[in-house]
Amino acid sequence: MSCTAAQPGILEAIASYIDEKTFFTTITSVTFAVLFLFLYILHAYTFFDKNNIKDCATPAAPFGNLNDVIFHKDSWYMFLRKHYNRLKRKKLPFGGLYLFFKPSILISDQILIERLILSQKENNEVLDTLFTKDVMQNTLEKIDSIYDECNELLNKQPCDRILNHFFVKTARLLFGFSIDDTKLENSMKGKSYSCFKHYLGVAYSCFKSKNIYSHITASIQQELQNRKKNDIKHSDILHNLTKIDSNVIENLSEIFIENILFSTLSTMLCLYELSQDDTIQEELVGEIRRLFAKKGKMQFQYLDHLPYMEAVVKETLRKWPPVPVEVIQNNQEVEGLPNNKNILLLLSIYGMQNHPDNFVDPEQYDPDRFLEDNVRETLFMPFGIGPQRDINHRLTTMNIKLALIWILSKYKVKIQPSYHLELDKTKVIIQPKVVVPLQFELID
Mean pLDDT across the stretch 121-147? 80
pLDDT band at 203 (very low <50, low <70, confident <90, very high): very high
Q: Does residue 269 carry a pLDDT above 50?
A: yes
Q: Does residue 154 carry a pLDDT above 60?
A: yes
Each domain of the chain, given as residue ranges in start order, spans 1-44, 106-442
Distance CA 131, CA 125 (A): 10
Phi, psi of 383 (to 5 degrees): -110, 20
pLDDT band at 6 (very low <50, low <70, confident <90, very high): very low
What is residue 351's predicted lDDT score, i.e. its pLDDT?
98
Distances (CA, A) of 378 to 116, 120, 375: 10, 13, 9
The answer to which of 176-180, 207-211, 296-300 has the lowest mean pLDDT is 296-300
| Residue of 52, 50, 432, 89 whose CA lies nearest to 275 | 432
What is residue 3's predicted lDDT score, i.e. its pLDDT?
47
Mean pLDDT across the stretch 161-165? 95
Question: What is the dihedral angle through the alpha carbons of 217, 221, 223, 224, rounded to the nearest 10 degrees?
Answer: 140
The answer to which of 110-119, 294-303, 409-418 has the lowest mean pLDDT is 294-303
Between the two ends of the chain, the Cα-to-Cα distance in Å is 88
Tell me the pTM: 0.89
Cβ contact 252:241 at 8 Å: yes
Length of the chain: 444
**Which of 2.40.50.140, 1.10.540.10, 3.40.50.300, 1.10.630.10 would CATH assign to domain 106-442?**
1.10.630.10
The answer to which of 61-70, 275-284, 370-379, 404-413 has the lowest mean pLDDT is 370-379
The more confidently predicted of residues 215 and 421 is 421
Q: Within 10 Å of residue 32's Cβ, how many Cβ atoms?
A: 10
Q: What is the 3-state secondary structure (H, E, C) of the chain?
A: CHHHHHHHHHHHHHHHHCCHHHHHHHHHHHHHHHHHHHHHHHHHCCHHHHCCCCECCCCECCCECCHHHHCCCCCHHHHHHHHHHHHHHCCCCEEEEEECCEEEEEECCHHHHHHHHHHCCCCCHHHHCCCCHHHHHHHHHCHHHHHHHHHCCCCCCCHHHHHHHHHHHHHHHHHCCCCCHHHHHHHHHHHHECCHHHHHHHHCHHHCCCCCCHHHHHHHHHHHHHHHHHCCCCCCHHHHCCCCCHHHHHHHHHHHHHHHHHHHHHHHHHHHHHHHCHHHHHHHHHHHHHHHHHHCCCCHHHHHHCHHHHHHHHHHHHHCCCCCEEEEECCCCCCCCCCCCCCEEEEEHHHHCCCCCCCCCCCCCCHHHHCCCCCCHHHCCCCCCCCCHHHHHHHHHHHHHHHHHHHHCCEEEEECCCCCCCECCCECCCCECCCCCEEEEECC
Q: Which amino acid is at 420?
A: H
**If you average pLDDT over each of 41-55, 72-86, 323-337, which comes out highest?**
72-86
Cβ contact 421:411 at 8 Å: no
Using a pLDDT cut of 70, give the percent of the chain over it: 88
Instruction: Tell me what the pLDDT averaged over the chain comes to.
Output: 88
Mean pLDDT across the stretch 198-221? 87
pLDDT band at 71 (very low <50, low <70, confident <90, very high): very high
The model's pLDDT over 350-405, given as tens digits with 9 standing for 90+, comes to: 999 999 999 999 999 999 999 987 788 899 999 999 888 889 999 999 999 999 99
Mean pLDDT across the stretch 80-89? 98
pLDDT band at 124 (very low <50, low <70, confident <90, very high): low
